[in-house]
Amino acid sequence: MLVYQYEFLMMHDDESISEMFTHFTTIINSLKNLGKCYPNQELVRKILRCLPKSWTPKVTAIEEVKDLRTLPLAQLFGSLMTHETAMMNHESEETKKKKTAAFRASKEENEDVSDEDEEMTLITKKFKKFLSNKRQQGKRYFKKHLQKEGSSKKEEVIFYECNYNGSNFIAMVV
């Protein structure tokens, strides 16, 4: 029964490397107690074969770079743990990037617009209109004030800190 478990051992997608390795070690140790020993090279190859398809690039890299005949199980386990951590970090970064906010374009496109959203839209429109009116009033006031004071008239400025007569400078007094 243990040989059967060893032969058909596969890592599941929701399983971590440490969980798979613990299960693998339990089977191997039980087989050793019963007198069935596998060479290190076969154990390394078995672990690489039982990994899911998403691990194929890492498996290929290990097979090409490392000598599987002399690769210790602990070193293989460390390499796989490092890769798993990097994959998890990469996935978490991708999910952060995918989280975006979208605004509704119009009421006709989405009939599920809540009262709060409608109120916020109305407030935003009124505020924009208010700002626009204030800008227009400011421009009108400035033009009117300049006409009263005489826009072509140059004001003489005296700098009180140094008593410099700034007749070379043009200053507008509002």
Could you read off the pLDDT of 63-106 as tens digits, one per residue? Answer: 999 988 899 999 999 999 999 999 888 888 777 777 655 555 55
Give the pLDDT confidence score for residue 173 in this predicted structure: 46
- Give the pLDDT mean for 12-21: 90
Give the pLDDT confidence score for residue 104 in this predicted structure: 56
Amino acid 57 reads P
Mean of per-residue pLDDT scores for the chain: 78
Please tell me the distance from the alpha carbon of residue 134 to that of residue 140, in angstroms, as a whole number: 10
Give the pLDDT confidence score for residue 25 in this predicted structure: 93
Share of the chain above pLDDT 70, in %: 69
Quick one: 17 exposed, middle or buried, by C-beta within 10 A (0-12, 13-18, 19+)? buried
Predicted confidence band of residue 117 (pLDDT cuts 50, 70, 90): confident
Asked if the model's pLDDT at residue 151 lies above 70, the reply is: no
Share of the chain above pLDDT 90, in %: 39
Please tell me the distance from the alpha carbon of residue 45 to that of residue 37, in angstroms, as a whole number: 15
What is the dihedral sign for C-alpha 24, 27, 33, 36? negative
- Give the pLDDT mean for 2-15: 90
Domain positions in the chain = 2-84
DSSP label at residue 62: H
Amino acid 87 reads M
Predicted confidence band of residue 113 (pLDDT cuts 50, 70, 90): low
